[in-house]
Amino acid sequence: MKKLLKFIQKIEPDKEKSKLLHTIYDGLYTLVFSPNTTTKGGVHIRDGADLKRTMFFVVIAMQLAYLFGAFNIGHQHFLALGQYTEVLDGWHLKLIHGFIKLLPIFIISNVIGLGVEFVYAARRGHPIQEGYLVSGALIPLIMPPDIPLWMLTVAIIFAVIIGKEAFGGTGMNVFNVALLTRVFLFFAYPTYISGDSVWVSGLEGNVGEVYGWAHSLFDGLFGALGWEQFGAGGRQVVDSFTGATPLGLATHGGWSAVTEVYSTSDMWWGFIPGSIGETSKPFILIGALFLLVTKIASWRIMLSMLIGAALTALMMNGIGEPGSFAAVPWYYQFYMGSFFFAMVFMATDPVTAASTPKGKWIYGFLIGMIGMMIRVFNPAYPEGWMLAILFMNVFAPLIDYFILDSHIKKRLKRAK
C-alpha cells in the first residue's frame, strides 16, 4: 500500500500548469486514500471522519432503495403488460429491466453533475468538493423511469450552477441540489414528471419499443439458463391498468378510490407507481436507522417532521368531508407518496437545514405541516414535500438567527 501511495504521489500533475487535470487527480487521490488530517466541526463533520466518507454513509443508506427501485420499475412495467403479475414471477426480468432504465439516469446524474463541479473546482483552484456525491445518488431516486436524459442533463446543470456553485460550492448552497433538479423539471417540463402516465416504464404507446440491445443481450443469457426471456416485445398496455399513483387517486376520490386499486400492503412495501426510490417504506426506514446509528442525520428533524405531518393530517380528518383527500385517515397518509424518503434523505441535508438543536425541531415540524397542506389542498400537485423543503431551506438561516439571538440575549441578561 505504501508503494502504491508513493507511485500515485509521483504522477501528481502540476497544479499551476494543469488545473483541471490536477483537480481530477486530487479527487481520485482523496477518494482512495484517507487524508493525513481530518477536520472536526464545520458544516458536515461532527467527528474525526473526513467529508468524503461521511457522504459515503448517506450513499450506503440509499442502496436498498436503489435495489427495490430497480425491481419495482420492472414490476410495474410487466403489470402494465398483464404479465408476471405476482411479485416474484419473472423476478429476473423485472430486476434487469429496472437496472437498464435506472443505469443511464445514474450515469448522467453523476457525470454531468461532477463534470460541472470539476470545472468550477479547477477554475477556483481548490480541491473537488464532495457534496455532490450525495446529490448524484439522490437525483436518480426522485425521477420517473422514462425521464428523457437530455432534460435531466439540463436540469442538473441548472441546479449545480445556480443552486450551488453560484453560492460558493459545498457548504454554501441555500437549496437542496437534488430537489432543485426536480423542481426545475417540474416547472420546465411538467408533463414528463407529473400525471398518471410517467411513473411506469413503457406505459404509453407500444411497450415493445422499450426493448433494445441490452434486453437482447440478457435474453441470450436467460435462454442459456432456461429462464423466461424478454422477447421482441410489442404487447400493448392492458386496458385495466391505469398507472395512477395512490396520491393521484386520493385527490379525486379519497381513500376509497385508492383501496380499489392498491392494497395497504402494496403501498407499504412499495409495489406501486412512483419515483424510482420513494415507494418502499421499510427499506427507506432501514436507511434512516443506519443514518441515525452513524449520527449522520438529525433525529430531531425526522421526528419533528413526522409530528408536524401527523398533527396536520389529524386536523384535516376533523374538517374533511367524507370521501375527500382531507378525510384520508392520518396514518394512511404515510403509506402514500414520498414522505419517508423526503424525511430521511432530503429534509436532513446538513447544509440546507437548520443547524441549531431547537431550530431543527422548528424546521422539521414546519416541513411536515406545510408539506401535508400542499399535498391535500393543491389539486394541481398532489404531493408537497419537494416544495415544502425548498421553502424551508430559505427560512432555515432565519430560524437559526432568531434562536442564536435569543440565546445571546438570555446570556447577556444572566451576565448583568
- Rounded to an integer, what distance in angstroms lies between the CA atom of residue 72 and that of residue 66? 10
- Rounded to an integer, what distance in angstroms lies between the CA atom of residue 393 and that of residue 173? 10
Does 202 lie in the same domain as 95? Answer: yes
| DSSP state for residue 188 in the 8-state scheme | H
Does 172 lie in the same domain as 288? Answer: no
Average pLDDT over residues 404-415: 87
| DSSP state for residue 325 in the 8-state scheme | G
Highest mean pLDDT among 27-31, 46-50, 147-151, 380-384: 147-151
Q: How many residues does the chain have?
A: 416
Share of the chain above pLDDT 90, in %: 54
- Rounded to an integer, what distance in angstroms lies between the CA atom of residue 400 and that of residue 362? 10
* Chosen domain end from 243, 258, 276: 243
SS3 of 277, please? coil
Q: Scanning the structure block, which residue is given the C-alpha cell 430497480? A: 70
Residue 48 has a pLDDT of 47
Does 188 lie in the same domain as 69? Answer: yes
pLDDT digits (tens, 9 = 90+) for 314-365: 999 999 888 899 999 999 999 998 999 999 999 999 889 999 999 999 999 9
Does 186 lie in the same domain as 73? Answer: yes
Does 410 lie in the same domain as 361? Answer: yes
Does 281 lie in the same domain as 174? Answer: no
Domain count, the chain: 2
Host domain of residue 393: 247-416
* Chosen domain end from 243, 269, 287: 243
Residue 120 has a pLDDT of 83
Does 270 lie in the same domain as 375? Answer: yes
Does 210 lie in the same domain as 253? Answer: no
pLDDT digits (tens, 9 = 90+) for 353-376: 999 999 999 999 999 999 999 999
- Rounded to an integer, what distance in angstroms lies between the CA atom of residue 78 and that of residue 57? 33
pLDDT digits (tens, 9 = 90+) for 201-239: 887 655 555 688 888 889 889 988 889 988 876 677 787
Is 200 inside any structural domain?
yes
| DSSP state for residue 332 in the 8-state scheme | G
Is 66 inside any structural domain?
yes
Does 255 lie in the same domain as 376? Answer: yes
Does 195 lie in the same domain as 322? Answer: no
- Rounded to an integer, what distance in angstroms lies between the CA atom of residue 69 and that of residue 136? 16
Question: Which of the four pLDDT bands, split at 50, 70 and 90, describes residue 5?
Answer: low
Is 10 inside any structural domain?
no
Is residue 153 within 8 Å of 108, Cβ to Cβ? Answer: yes
Residue 106 has a pLDDT of 96
Does 134 lie in the same domain as 231? Answer: yes
The 3 state secondary structure assigned to 110-176 is HHHHHHHHHHHHHHHCCCCCCCHHHHHHHHHHCCCCCCCHHHHHHHHHHHHHHHCHHHCCCCCCCCC
* Chosen domain end from 243, 273, 305: 243
Please, which residues have CB within 8 angstroms of residue 52's CB and are 6 or more apart in sequence? Answer: 30, 31, 130, 133
Is 1 inside any structural domain?
no
